[in-house]
Amino acid sequence: MTRSEKFHLIAGFLGGTARPNDAERPDGYWHITLADGVKLCASGFDRYTLAGRIEFSGSYPSYVKPEGGRTIVTPGDIYENGARLSSPSITVADSKTPEQIAKDVERRLLGTLRLREIWHKCKARCEHYTVQQDITRATVGRVAAATGGKPNVRDSFARIEWGYEIGHADYRGGYADEPEHFKVELDNVTEAKLVEIIKVLRG
């Protein structure tokens, strides 16, 4: 049985699909996608330290950053009971049949070690970040347009800039428990102008 045939069978027993990381090197890494979206990575059979065994771990989801590119959310980004989650993995004897390997992955990795649950927590965090970034871009864009400022939005950071002589406003919230709000810092403001601004804010 070829490596390709074996992983397609393993994925089939798990109710998913399989593909090699590199189509020209089917004996390298493999990715398995399950019906509920969970993604696994299989490797190790060509490494000396794991000779004769296959290592299965999570292949975690990502979200698009405002400035371009993607950020992967891993279990270490998720806190549970005050501690970061770990990234579970198992090794299985390569000599086992595809059905036996699939049963091991389902029982040990996806079940006992909670990889399925943990993966979906990472996916939910990605979706949360995406929604909050959309809100941030829209909010900062509206205020910048209304005040003659320039929006500057990056991953987990948003600012409206008015230039050195005026100052800037940082947009906070959305990524923690704090409510969304602006923190304004003003530059080179005279006493009279500061009093005027404070009166407007308090009003």
What are the residue boundaries of the structural domains of the chain, listed by start?
Answer: 3-124, 147-202
What are the φ/ψ torsions at residue 11 (nearest 5 degrees)? -65, -40
Please, what is the average pLDDT of the chain?
90
Place of tokens 């950071």: 157
- Of the given ranges (52-61, 97-106, 107-116, 190-199), which has the lowest mean pLDDT? 190-199
Q: What is the pLDDT of residue 38?
A: 98
Greatest mean pLDDT among 47-51, 97-101, 184-188 lies in: 97-101
Is-contact 159 150, C-beta < 8 A?
Answer: no
% of the chain residues with pLDDT over 90: 61
pLDDT bin (cut points 50, 70, 90) of residue 176 is low
Query: pLDDT band for position 11 (50/70/90)?
Result: very high
78-116, pLDDT tens digit by residue? 999 999 999 999 999 999 999 999 999 999 999 999 999
β-pair partners for 64:
70
Name residues whose C-beta falls within 8 Å of residue 33's C-beta, 6 or more positions apart in sequence.
Answer: 11, 16, 17, 18, 19, 39, 40
User: What is the per-residue pLDDT for 52?
Assistant: 84
pTM of the model: 0.81
Asked whether residue 21 carries a pLDDT value surpassing 80, the answer given is yes
- Measure Cα distances from 109 to 58, 94, 106, 192 in Å: 9, 16, 6, 65
What CA–CA distance (Å, rounded) separates 173 from 21?
A: 38
Whether 80 and 74 have beta carbons less than 8 Å apart is answered as: no
Strand pairing of 157-161 and 167-172?
antiparallel
Q: Is 174 helix (H, G, I), strand (E, B) or coil?
A: coil
Q: What is the mean pLDDT of residues 53-60?
A: 95
Look at residues 57, 43, 71 and name the one whose alpha carbon lies nearest to residue 128.
Answer: 71
CB atoms within 10 A of CB 1: 8
